[in-house]
Amino acid sequence: MKPVVTWIVLANTREARVLANRGPGSGLVSLAGRRWTAQEVARLRDKNGAGRSLAAPAISAVVQTDGHRRSGALFARTVMGKLSNSHEAKKFDQLVLVAGPLMLGLMRMAMDQRLKQVLIDEIDRDFSALPVDALETHLGEVMAV
Protein backbone atom coordinates (compact mmCIF):
# COMPACT_ATOMS: atom_id res chain seq x y z
CA MET A 1 0.00 0.00 0.00
CA LYS A 2 1.31 3.40 -0.99
CA PRO A 3 1.89 5.75 1.98
CA VAL A 4 -0.06 8.99 2.17
CA VAL A 5 2.38 11.83 1.54
CA THR A 6 1.64 15.04 3.38
CA TRP A 7 3.43 18.28 2.59
CA ILE A 8 3.74 20.83 5.36
CA VAL A 9 4.36 24.36 4.10
CA LEU A 10 6.07 26.72 6.56
CA ALA A 11 5.82 30.28 5.33
CA ASN A 12 6.00 33.95 6.14
CA THR A 13 5.86 36.90 3.76
CA ARG A 14 9.59 36.61 3.00
CA GLU A 15 10.27 32.85 2.67
CA ALA A 16 8.62 29.45 2.46
CA ARG A 17 9.84 25.88 2.76
CA VAL A 18 8.23 22.47 2.45
CA LEU A 19 8.56 19.47 4.73
CA ALA A 20 7.21 16.02 3.92
CA ASN A 21 5.67 13.29 6.04
CA ARG A 22 5.21 9.82 4.58
CA GLY A 23 2.85 8.46 7.22
CA PRO A 24 2.65 8.02 11.00
CA GLY A 25 5.99 7.42 12.64
CA SER A 26 8.08 8.54 9.67
CA GLY A 27 8.83 12.03 10.99
CA LEU A 28 9.41 15.13 8.92
CA VAL A 29 11.89 15.54 6.09
CA SER A 30 12.91 18.86 4.57
CA LEU A 31 12.53 18.71 0.79
CA ALA A 32 15.45 19.86 -1.31
CA GLY A 33 14.54 22.45 -3.92
CA ARG A 34 11.32 23.36 -2.10
CA ARG A 35 12.53 26.55 -0.43
CA TRP A 36 11.47 29.87 -1.90
CA THR A 37 12.33 33.47 -1.12
CA ALA A 38 10.27 36.54 -1.98
CA GLN A 39 11.68 39.23 -4.22
CA GLU A 40 13.09 42.35 -2.61
CA VAL A 41 10.51 45.08 -1.98
CA ALA A 42 11.21 48.33 -3.82
CA ARG A 43 11.42 51.25 -1.41
CA LEU A 44 8.76 53.90 -1.77
CA ARG A 45 10.22 57.30 -2.60
CA ASP A 46 7.40 59.65 -1.67
CA LYS A 47 5.64 60.05 1.65
CA ASN A 48 1.89 60.12 2.13
CA GLY A 49 0.51 63.63 2.13
CA ALA A 50 -2.03 66.04 0.77
CA GLY A 51 -2.21 67.76 -2.58
CA ARG A 52 -4.11 70.73 -3.92
CA SER A 53 -6.38 70.40 -6.90
CA LEU A 54 -5.71 72.66 -9.89
CA ALA A 55 -9.38 72.62 -10.93
CA ALA A 56 -10.99 73.57 -7.61
CA PRO A 57 -10.07 74.88 -4.18
CA ALA A 58 -10.09 71.38 -2.69
CA ILE A 59 -7.41 69.32 -0.95
CA SER A 60 -7.12 65.59 -1.53
CA ALA A 61 -5.16 62.95 0.34
CA VAL A 62 -2.40 61.05 -1.41
CA VAL A 63 -2.11 57.47 -0.22
CA GLN A 64 0.76 55.13 -1.02
CA THR A 65 0.11 51.43 -1.49
CA ASP A 66 1.74 49.07 0.99
CA GLY A 67 4.70 47.59 -0.87
CA HIS A 68 5.30 44.87 1.71
CA ARG A 69 1.71 43.63 1.57
CA ARG A 70 1.73 43.69 -2.24
CA SER A 71 5.00 41.77 -2.24
CA GLY A 72 3.57 39.25 0.25
CA ALA A 73 0.50 38.72 -1.94
CA LEU A 74 2.68 38.15 -5.00
CA PHE A 75 4.86 35.72 -3.03
CA ALA A 76 1.78 33.83 -1.77
CA ARG A 77 0.53 33.45 -5.38
CA THR A 78 3.97 32.17 -6.40
CA VAL A 79 4.08 29.59 -3.60
CA MET A 80 0.52 28.43 -4.25
CA GLY A 81 1.29 28.11 -7.97
CA LYS A 82 4.31 25.92 -7.26
CA LEU A 83 2.29 23.79 -4.85
CA SER A 84 -0.50 23.43 -7.39
CA ASN A 85 1.98 22.26 -10.03
CA SER A 86 3.49 19.76 -7.60
CA HIS A 87 0.07 18.41 -6.65
CA GLU A 88 -0.86 18.06 -10.30
CA ALA A 89 2.35 16.02 -10.74
CA LYS A 90 1.15 13.80 -7.83
CA LYS A 91 4.08 14.70 -5.54
CA PHE A 92 1.82 14.81 -2.45
CA ASP A 93 -1.63 13.70 -1.29
CA GLN A 94 -2.39 16.08 1.58
CA LEU A 95 -1.39 19.61 2.53
CA VAL A 96 -0.92 21.48 5.82
CA LEU A 97 -0.26 25.24 5.85
CA VAL A 98 1.68 26.79 8.72
CA ALA A 99 2.03 30.57 8.56
CA GLY A 100 1.35 33.75 10.46
CA PRO A 101 -2.15 35.21 10.13
CA LEU A 102 -1.26 37.69 7.34
CA MET A 103 0.54 35.17 5.14
CA LEU A 104 -2.04 32.47 5.84
CA GLY A 105 -4.78 34.82 4.62
CA LEU A 106 -2.79 35.70 1.51
CA MET A 107 -2.21 32.01 0.76
CA ARG A 108 -5.91 31.23 1.23
CA MET A 109 -6.80 33.89 -1.34
CA ALA A 110 -4.24 32.51 -3.82
CA MET A 111 -5.18 28.83 -3.35
CA ASP A 112 -6.95 27.06 -6.21
CA GLN A 113 -9.82 24.62 -5.74
CA ARG A 114 -7.66 21.49 -6.16
CA LEU A 115 -5.40 22.53 -3.29
CA LYS A 116 -8.41 23.37 -1.13
CA GLN A 117 -9.61 19.79 -1.58
CA VAL A 118 -6.36 18.30 -0.23
CA LEU A 119 -5.83 20.87 2.55
CA ILE A 120 -6.29 18.99 5.82
CA ASP A 121 -5.42 21.76 8.28
CA GLU A 122 -3.92 25.18 8.89
CA ILE A 123 -1.90 26.52 11.79
CA ASP A 124 -1.94 30.30 12.08
CA ARG A 125 1.48 30.68 13.72
CA ASP A 126 4.79 31.63 12.15
CA PHE A 127 6.99 28.59 12.80
CA SER A 128 9.17 29.21 9.74
CA ALA A 129 12.33 29.70 11.83
CA LEU A 130 11.89 26.58 13.98
CA PRO A 131 14.09 23.52 13.37
CA VAL A 132 12.39 20.38 12.05
CA ASP A 133 12.51 18.45 15.35
CA ALA A 134 10.77 21.29 17.22
CA LEU A 135 8.01 21.36 14.62
CA GLU A 136 7.03 17.77 15.23
CA THR A 137 5.61 18.65 18.64
CA HIS A 138 3.45 21.45 17.19
CA LEU A 139 2.24 19.34 14.27
CA GLY A 140 1.35 16.43 16.57
CA GLU A 141 -1.96 18.17 17.32
CA VAL A 142 -2.84 18.24 13.60
CA MET A 143 -1.48 14.95 12.29
CA ALA A 144 0.41 11.82 13.35
CA VAL A 145 4.06 12.59 12.69
> Which pLDDT tens digit goes with each residue over 51-81?
565 666 665 555 555 666 788 899 999 999 9
CATH homologous superfamily of 6-36+62-139 equals eRF1 domain 2 (3.30.420.60)
Neighbouring CB atoms inside 10 A of 58's CB total 8
Instruction: List the domain boundaries for the chain.
Output: 6-36+62-139
Which of 18, 28, 88, 102 has the alpha carbon at shortest distance from 110? 102
- State the average pLDDT for the chain: 84
Q: Are 28 and 22 in contact (CB under 8 A)?
A: no
The DSSP letter of residue 56 is: S
The predicted model scores a pTM of: 0.80
Most confident of 40-54, 68-82, 97-111: 97-111
